[in-house]
Structure 1
Amino acid sequence: MSRVDAALRALRDQGERVTPGRRAVLEILDATEAHLDAEAIGAAVAEHAPGVHRATVYRSLQSLSELGVITHTHVPGSATIYHLASGDARHHAHTHLQCTQCQRFFDLPADDLEPMRESVRKRTGFDIDTCHAALLGTCSDCREG
């Protein structure tokens, strides 16, 4: 079963409608490894499914996020980026790292931050959601260049 089919089934299982806008958003997110924000998704949907209005794309992103079918990551000083929530091993839960100099994104398996999460949890009782916001830093290319 494709990732889009799995997401559509998840919608139906929750009693939600599968609309052309929702389907188009899911297809765009499935077709790329890029870190797309709402504006880029809207532009891609306009090419892929010209009948879907841009406002529908924004509403679809919000509802699909609330339903857990897609995930979003807040990027400090930039737009929120989106991914399909389910998928195969190459689409695992991951943390986003962003270089503050060149703005490139790097994906890191969320499990890599588990020792830090556990340390913070033990010391403060606070549970960090390592996938919800991008971590900022400087990539090796920018540090060396």
Structure 2
Amino acid sequence: MRGVIGEVEEKLRSNEYKMTPKREYVLRVLLENKDKHLSAEEVYNLVKIKAPDVGLATVYRTLELFSSFDIIHSMDFGDGRKRYEFGVDNGDGHRHHHLICVQCGKIIEMNEDLLEDLEERVNRTYNFTISDHELKIFGRCSECMPKNKKE
């Protein structure tokens, strides 16, 4: 974790920002919850446990700062709330995709790139080079599927 914090600190410094203790608390919460898609309020509640003096506005500003430098990625899963992910770059410039349960809100990450053929077709047909894409598929997870199709 220390290495990642150092990398983020260097990225901030190279853009004339400092890694303040409050920013580090936000970063640590994001790192400790890498597998989750936290809202700003959820980040705030987790930061508040360790640093009660950190305000919600500070968390919002920090999340926006981290987003602006591609340290984290924000997305909306259809519930009107921005959610944040740390370390979304998988090395080829594409993010993973998400399956979103419309009943319970569960989010399942898919690491398969299902859109390679479409990207090639878009490039060829429209002379358009895609730098990134994001796919969200809405439906019901296995826990929310009716056990009996008669329902």
Gap change, CA 1:128 and 1:6, over 3 Å in 2: closer
Q: CA RMSD in A?
A: 2.9
The secondary structure found in structure 1 opposite 2:16 is coil
Query: RCO higher in 1 or 2 (8 Å CA, sep ≥ 6)?
Result: 1
SS class of match (1:6): helix
Within the candidate set 52, 55, 63, 1:53 is matched to 55
SS at match of 1:5: helix
- Which residue pairs with 1:98 in the alignment? 100
Name 1:130's counterpart in structure 2. 133
Partner of 2:17: 16
Instruction: Give per-residue Cα distances to partners, 1:45-65, cap 9 Å, x unaligned.
Output: 111222211111111111111
Deviation at 1:126, TM superposition (A): 7.9
Partner amino acid, structure 1, of 2:133: T
Deviation at 1:67, TM superposition (A): 1.6
Q: What residue identity is the alignment partner of 2:85?
A: H
SS at match of 1:50: coil
Deviations 1:48-102 (A, max 9, x none): 222211111111111111121111112112311112236889xx94222211122
State whether structure 2 residue 3 is matched by structure 1 residue 2.
Answer: yes
> May I ask how many residue pairs the two structures share in their alignment?
142
Alignment pair present for 1:34 and 2:68: no
Matched residues in 2 for 1:14 and 1:123: separation? 38
Moved more, 70-79 or 50-59: 70-79
The structure that has the greater radius of gyration is 2
Q: Distance in 1 between matches of 2:118 and 2:38?
A: 27
TM-score (norm 1): 0.78
Residues 36 and 85, structure 2, Cα contact 8 Å, conserved in 1: no
Percentage of pairs with the same residue:
30
Structure 2 unaligned residues grouped into runs of 5+: none
- Work out the CA distance in 2 between the residues paired with 1:86 and 1:127: 17
One-letter amino acid matched to 1:107: E
Q: 1:82 aligns with which of 81, 84, 88?
A: 84
Taking structure 2 as the reference length, the TM-score comes to 0.76
